[in-house]
Amino acid sequence: MALLQTIVWFVVALGILVTIHEYGHYWVARRCGVKVLRFSVGFGKPLWRWYNREGTEFCIAAIPLGGYVKMLDEREGDVPAELLDQAFTRKPVLARIAVVAAGPVANFLLAILLFWWMVMPGVTHLVPVIDAVEPGSVAARAGLEPGQEIIAVDGVETPSAQALNQRLLERLGETGTISFTVTYPNSTLQYTSEAELNSWLAGEDEPRPLEGIGIKLFSPKPTNQLGMVVEGGPADRAGLVAGDRVVLVNGEPVSDWQAMADVIEQNPGREVELTVEREVEQLNVVLIPDSLEVDGRRVGRIGVGSQAPEWPEEYLRRTEYNLVQGLWRGIEKTGETSWFVLLSVKKLLVGEISTKNLSGPITIAKVAGASAQAGLAYYVGFLALLSVSLGVFNLLPIPVLDGGHLLYYTIELVKGSPVSERIQMLGYQVGLLVVLGVMMLAIYNDIMRHI
């Protein structure tokens, strides 16, 4: 069932993004007087089709991994004389540029609207306050200390933990100076310090910027109260329920969740006695933790999770937006994400980050399923990020992509005549090899991650 849901949410995401992208091409093509023959979501055999009054065939095809808009084009066959004025190839170069650019632009517009929708209820941010600094790390060399709030990195404001993580991600693989601007609680004074990066996390398959820089941000410790009990697990069989609060393990008081978890982990297959508080009474239960192998060693697990702790108000920051501010934030977020995608592509090309970070359809599908399970807001955020990525990648100047067509038409606009068909065909062949090569590498990475 979980696999089916993942596939469904992945197909829904692709369907939405491809439809919006292709509709951008279709809408502008019609406004430019180009006859559209087919609007297809998916490739291969049509599963469902219908026609509008202009004779355009709309269809949903069997392979849901893309789509296309087929326009009347002299390069693909003879065009009746009475329809020549509606052929794509007969349109001015600026019109052709508009038609080709409309797909990626539609993706950017969708992302703006989705980001706008996400911020309109208001956004609560986690304040990036340092809880611990790893000795000898980049953060330690910069003189960062527990209790400081990081308010900027390299002069760019970091009002939230997410913004801090994003700014650090932009420095992956780089060599040079990184600066931190910090402040202390209840103080208006700001301090700036620096440290050196040297191909920072360049070879990491799954880089974790905060860990890589050597800091741990504040988060409240898990409580001793059970937030969930796995059905059929040792805790469930012993009669524990969500809401129970563990006060003793083997007769010894436990100060926090981790202390209890350590005892459980150290006793796989051996009896453990827990004393728990349930409303106004105390109960003693004896259970035997399951024995599981983790990282080559046997550990105990009883099938429980901690009640989520409450965040102190001073570590939360709330931002409210009106309609105009929300729209502007959507534009800003789309621009920031586009820049990050472009920067990542550049770093992949020059070797500053590992090509193992490339993800294919398997990873995207898993993220789609996980975000849908987490809630509507998470799924909408995933759609927005994927829409930006689709827009940016399609604008790369690689023949067979929209960006490749735009490159040819821009050259035509400058020199006053089209690029020769021989050069165009050679470019398409090279572009196809590049795109297929990247896809194969991404799929290979997916397979290696999940085997």
Q: 256-272 as b/e, with b when 16 or more CB fall inside 10 Å?
A: ebeebbebbbebbeeeb
Q: What is the pLDDT of residue 316?
A: 92
Domain extents for the chain?
92-121+322-451, 123-220+310-319, 226-306
Strands 290-294 and 281-287: unpaired
**Annotation: CATH topology of 226-306:** Pdz3 Domain (2.30.42)
Beta carbons within 10 angstroms of residue 124's beta carbon? 11
Sign of the Cα torsion 268, 2, 111, 381 reads: negative
pTM of the model: 0.84
For residues 25 and 103, what is the distance between their CA atoms, to the nearest angstrom? 5
pLDDT of residue 354: 81
CB 317 within 8 A of CB 157: no
Q: Which pair of tokens denotes residue 197?
A: 């990066």
What does the pLDDT look like over 253-287, one tens digit per residue? 887 888 888 899 999 999 999 999 998 889 999 99
Report the distance separating Cα 107 and Cα 390, nearest Å.
7
Domains 123-220+310-319 and 226-306 equal at CATH topology level: yes
**Residue type for 387, please?**
S
d(CA 111, CA 388): 6
Q: Which CATH number fits domain 123-220+310-319: 2.30.42.10, 3.30.70.141, 3.20.20.80, 3.30.390.50?
A: 2.30.42.10
Q: What is the pLDDT of residues 209-230, one digit of tens each?
A: 999 999 999 988 888 888 899 9
Phi and psi of 339, rounded to 5°?
-65, -40
Q: What is the pLDDT of residues 285-341, one digit of tens each?
A: 999 999 888 777 889 999 998 888 888 888 999 999 999 999 999 999 999 999 999
- The residues assigned a catalytic role are 22
**Strand 156-157 relative to strand 149-153, pairing:** antiparallel
Span 61-79, pLDDT tens digits = 988 888 999 999 888 778 8
